[in-house]
Amino acid sequence: MDLPERFSNLPAYAFPRLRALLDHHPAGGPVRHMTIGEPKHPFPAFVPEILAREVAGFNSYPPNDGCPELRDAIAHWATRRYAVTLDPETQIMAANGTREALYNIAMALIPETKNGKRPVVAMPNPFYQVYMIAAISVGAEPVFVPATRDNGHLPDYAGMDPDQLDRCAAVYVCSPANPQGAVADRSYWEDLIRLAEKHDFRIFADECYSEIWRNAPPVGALEVARDLGTDPERVTIFQSLSKRSNLPGLRAGFIAGGPKSIAAAKQLRAYSGAPIPLPLQKVAAAAWTDEAHVTENRRLYQEKYALADDVFSGVKGYAPPQAGFFLWLPVQDGEEAALKAWTETGVRVLPGAYLSRDAGGANPGKPYIRVAMVAPKDEVQEGLIALRDCIYA
């Protein structure tokens, strides 16, 4: 049987692609995994206790959109963090992490046409790969907008082709950015929101790294939209406990935005979504309520920022990340560097091209590798020194 043409020329996903590159070569030293952004810091100590207390909840179908306790906890967190007021009943929906939500929001909100033509969904390049597959799945044209050193690693959507802007239905923005660690400041959000108002497109703000930062908490898209008096339906944000609370296996995130947008997302989820089990929702509510573990988590990452700065202080082109837990290291060719690191040191890193697409005759991720600093500090230090001595000596 034939397969859908819309998915016919997708490359292999990043990690199977990496295994095909590396796994038929022996490791050149102790294996150190620095590829995937899977936090290894301790999760909050209260998690097992809450799970044990709430275990009977596995005997019930969970609330599809999030139990009231969870949605209230998220609303209070948004007020503490961004000084915004969200109605937990109409402006918040729980989700299985951000990936599910970032995919399904396109299903819920992207129209079949924009100004009588095929719609455009724009995204940074490099990018979290779910943005692209979401656009393709709804029949939109994915447009890859370079996010490079020249523009501070944040996409310049105003520089898109006028026809693409005319057809644009939505843009994805990741701030803090995966993989580069760049942060959109207030001016960037203001300019983007005004551009969205001018060309009538939505902003999907992926903010799942917002609580891991170097010097100051990143500004949020919703707080800037509020200050500008923007239509609440213009901006939708996506958050998760995976990075903030070291709970990637909990699969607990949320989306927040205008009541009409959230109502559409809830309607779609009622038919096709998989709700979070109730005991996990109770854990998530506690995690959104507590900040002490987040402060400690951030401190551990700040130690590793300083460590990376020291290890790569003499490397030309090294750019310290402002936030998140990835290094975006410049190399001649990402695949060659990843293979060299593996065969000579046993360190596994991800070629930047696996997070990018060819656009305009170039792949902006090709001259980079992404390095995840998620392991304990000593392991990260060993891996970074091995990379420096192997690639930059």
pLDDT one-digit tens code per residue, 351-366: 999 999 998 889 999 9
Answer with the one of 260, 290, 320 that is the final residue of a domain. Answer: 290
pLDDT bracket for residue 4 (50, 70, 90): confident
Both 91 and 76 in a single domain?
yes
Q: Coil, strand, or helix at residue 126?
A: coil
Kindly tell me if the per-residue pLDDT of 75 is higher than 70. yes
Residue 345 CA, chain-centre distance (Å), reads 29
Long-range contacts for 71-74 (Cβ within 8 Å, ≥24 apart)?
Answer: 71/254, 72/285, 73/284, 73/285, 73/286, 73/288, 73/289, 74/239, 74/254, 74/256, 74/288
Query: How many separate domains does the chain show?
Result: 2
pLDDT value of position 274:
86
Q: Do 122 and 163 form a contact (C-beta atoms < 8 A)?
A: no
pLDDT bracket for residue 11 (50, 70, 90): confident
- In this structure, what token pair is assigned to residue 35? 């590829």
Residue 290 burial by Cβ neighbours in a 10 Å radius (0-12, 13-18, 19+): middle
Q: What does the alpha-carbon distance between residue 392 and residue 321 come to, in Å, rounded to a whole number?
A: 19
**pTM score of the predicted model:** 0.96
Kindly tell me if the per-residue pLDDT of 5 is higher than 90. no
What is the CATH classification number for the domain harbouring 208? 3.40.640.10
Both 111 and 23 in a single domain?
no
Q: What does the alpha-carbon distance between residue 273 and residue 97 come to, in Å, rounded to a whole number?
A: 12
Both 137 and 271 in a single domain?
yes
Kindly tell me if the per-residue pLDDT of 242 is higher than 80. yes
Give domain status of residue 2, yes or no.
no
Q: What does the alpha-carbon distance between residue 305 and residue 254 come to, in Å, rounded to a whole number?
A: 28
Both 286 and 323 in a single domain?
no
| Lowest-pLDDT range of 4-13, 36-45, 144-153, 180-189 | 4-13
Q: Which domain holds residue 233?
A: 47-290
